[in-house]
C-alpha cells in the first residue's frame, strides 16, 4: 500500500483563475454533474489554430455535442465532423452551413447518406466497397476520403484501430472505384487512436498516405486531402508531450513526405479541445468493506460508468481525482458507481489515491472530464438520469 502525504494539486491541471472560478460555480449545483468551462475550450481551439495554421479543424461532435460547446466553436470558425444524422441536425439547427460539415462515420445506412446529401453534405469518409457504391448512388459527385487502418493502437489510451479503415492497397482500389463511379476521390484519412501518447503514430500513417497519393497520381487520379483525425492529448494522470511537440513533429513528418506540395490538411480533434474544460463533480454515497479483515475498501459515488464515466472501461482513461478534505492519501479504495450492475466499477486494479478519512457526502472532482462523458451517459439506467451539464466561462 502506498501512502502519500499530499493530495493532488489541481493547479497542475488548471490555472489558479480557472480553478477557483470552477470551484465557486460547482458549489451551486447538486451532484452528480459535469461543469464545462467554455473559456478553456476557446483557449484550446485558438492554440490548435496557432500550432496548425495550415489545417482546417473539423471538431468531432461526438466528444461533447452540447449546444453551448457547438455554438462556441461555430463562433470561433470551426468546421465539424459528424458521426450520424442526429449530430448533423443539431449543427444545422444552429445555422452551421453544410459545407462546414464532414460525415466521418464509415458505418452508415444508405437512408442516412441520402438524408445527409439532401441537407447539403458533400464530404464523406468511407472504407468499404458497399459504402462507396451507396455514396455513388445516394450522394452523387460527393467528395470522398478513404480511411486507412492505423498502427500504434497500444500506445493510445482509447484505441480506434481494427474496426475502422482498410489496408492501403484496398484504399487505392476503393478510391479508383469511387472515381470511376463519379465521386470525387479527395484523399485519405486515419485516426491513430484517441489520447495517442506516441507521436510517431502519425508518421507511419502519413507515409502510407503518401504511398497512396503517389500510386493514384500515376493513375491520373490526383489526391489533394489528408484528414489526420483526432488523437491529440488531454491532461489525464498519464502525462503526454505538450501539444506544441505534437505540432512540430507532425509538421516535420508532413514536410518529409510531401515537401512543398502540402495537401489540404483536416484535423478532427474531439478530446483535446473539450476534455480539459470539464470537471465531473460526484458525491460519495457509501463506503464499505466486504469482510471485517479485508484490506480493500469500496467507495461508491453517485456517478459511474453509466452516467458519465464510461471511459473508465478497462480502466482506460485515468482521471485525476481531487477531494477537498485534507490528510494522508491512501490507495485502499476500489471506486464504483451507484447502479445495480457489477460492471459499474471504475477503478479496481488502478488505485487512485484518496484521503484516508474521506467520508460519505464528500465531493470527488473528476478532472479533465469534458470529453466523452455527457455524450456517453445512458438515458436512465437504474433510473439514474443522464448526467447534467452546466456551463460557465472564466
Ligand X SMILES: Cc1ncc(COP(=O)(O)O)c(C=O)c1O
**Applying CB under 6 A, which residues contact ligand X?**
60, 62-63, 81, 104, 160, 191, 194, 229-232, 268-272
Measured from the CB atom, is 317 or 329 closer to ligand X? 317
Q: Which residues contact 224 (CB under 8 A, 6 or more apart)?
A: 186, 187, 263, 264
Nearer of residues 32 and 229 to ligand X, judged by Cβ: 229
- Within the chain, what is the greatest distance between any pair of CA atoms? 75
CB of residue 229 to ligand X, shortest distance in Å: 5
Point out which residues pair with 194 in neighbouring strands: 158
The smaller minimum CB distance to ligand X, of residues 174 and 345, is found at 174
- Sign of the torsion formed by the C-alpha atoms of 238, 244, 249 and 253: positive
CB 269 to ligand X: min, Å: 4
Check: CB of residue 225 under 8 Å from CB of residue 264. yes
Q: Say which DSSP state 30 is in.
A: P
| Least Cβ distance, residue 5 to ligand X (angstroms) | 35
Cβ 147 to ligand X, closest distance in Å?
A: 8
- In the complex, the smallest distance separating the C-beta of residue 58 from ligand X, rounded to whole angstroms, is 8
How many whole angstroms separate alpha carbon 55 and alpha carbon 67? 24
Residue 39, number of CB atoms within 10 A of its CB? 18
**Closest CB 164 distance from ligand X, rounded Å:** 7
First to last CA, the chain: 39
* Shortest spacing between CB 384 and ligand X, in angstroms: 25
Nearer to ligand X, 42 or 356 (CB): 42
Q: Which is nearer to ligand X, 10 or 104 (CB)?
A: 104
Chain residue whose CB lies nearest ligand X: 230
Measured in degrees and rounded to the nearest 5, phi and psi for residue 59 equal -60, 130
H-helix or E-strand spanning residue 347? strand 345-347
For residue 305, CA distances in Å to 311, 337, 338, 362 come to 7, 7, 9, 19
Residues 6+ apart with CB under 8 A from 4: 328, 329, 353
Task: Give the nearer residue to ligand X in terms of CB position, either 52 or 232.
Answer: 232
CA 136 to chain CA centroid, Å, is 30
Residue with smaller CB distance to ligand X, 317 or 354? 317
Amino acid at each position: 500500500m502506498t501512502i502519500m502525504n499530499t493530495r493532488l494539486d489541481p493547479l497542475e491541471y488548471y490555472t489558479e483563475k480557472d480553478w477557483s472560478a470552477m470551484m465557486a460555480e460547482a458549489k451551486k449545483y447538486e451532484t452528480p454533474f459535469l461543469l464545462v468551462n467554455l473559456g478553456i475550450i476557446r483557449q484550446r481551439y485558438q492554440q490548435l489554430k496557432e500550432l496548425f495554421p495550415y489545417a482546417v479543424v473539423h471538431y468531432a461532435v461526438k466528444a461533447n455535442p452540447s449546444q453551448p460547446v457547438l455554438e462556441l466553436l461555430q463562433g470561433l470558425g470551426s468546421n465539424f465532423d459528424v458521426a450520424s444524422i442526429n449530430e448533423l441536425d443539431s449543427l444545422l439547427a444552429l445555422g452551421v452551413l453544410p459545407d462546414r460539415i464532414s460525415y466521418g462515420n464509415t458505418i452508415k445506412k444508405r437512408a442516412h447518406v441520402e438524408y445527409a446529401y439532401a441537407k447539403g453534405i458533400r464530404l464523406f469518409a468511407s472504407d468499404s466497397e458497399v459504402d462507396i457504391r451507396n455514396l455513388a448512388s445516394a450522394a452523387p459527385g460527393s467528395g470522398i476520403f478513404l480511411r486507412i487502418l492505423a498502427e500504434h493502437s497500444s500506445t493510445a489510451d482509447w484505441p480506434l484501430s481494427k474496426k475502422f479503415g482498410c489496408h492501403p492497397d484496398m484504399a487505392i482500389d476503393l478510391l479508383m472505384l469511387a472515381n470511376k463511379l463519379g465521386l470525387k476521390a479527395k484523399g485519405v484519412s486515419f485516426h491513430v487512436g484517441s489520447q495517442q501518447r506516441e507521436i510517431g503514430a502519425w508518421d507511419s500513417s502519413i507515409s502510407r498516405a503518401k504511398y497512396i497519393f503517389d500510386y493514384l497520381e500515376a493513375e491520373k487520379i490526383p489526391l489533394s486531402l489528408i484528414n489526420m483525425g483526432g488523437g491529440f492529448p488531454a491532461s489525464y494522470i498519464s502525462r503526454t508531450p505538450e501539444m506544441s511537440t505534437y505540432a512540430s513533429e507532425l509538421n516535420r513528418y508532413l514536410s518529409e513526405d510531401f515537401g512543398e506540395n502540402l495537401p489540404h490538411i483536416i484535423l478532427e480533434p474531439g478530446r483535446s479541445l473539450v476534455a480539459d474544460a470539464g470537471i465531473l463533480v460526484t458525491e460519495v454515497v457509501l463506503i464499505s468493506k466486504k469482510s471485517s479483515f479485508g484490506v480493500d475498501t469500496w467507495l461508491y459515488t453517485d456517478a459511474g460508468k453509466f452516467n458519465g464515466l464510461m471511459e473508465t472501461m478497462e480502466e482506460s482513461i485515468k482521471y485525476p481525482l481531487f477531494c477537498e478534505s485534507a490528510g494522508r492519501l491512501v490507495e485502499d479504495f476500489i471506486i464504483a458507481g451507484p447502479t445495480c450492475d457489477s460492471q459499474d466499477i471504475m477503478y479496481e486494479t488502478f488505485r487512485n489515491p484518496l484521503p484516508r478519512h474521506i467520508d460519505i457526502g464528500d465531493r470527488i472532482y473528476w478532472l479533465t472530464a469534458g470529453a466523452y462523458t455527457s455524450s456517453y451517459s445512458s438515458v436512465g439506467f437504474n433510473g439514474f438520469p443522464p448526467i447534467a451539464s452546466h456551463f460557465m466561462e472564466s
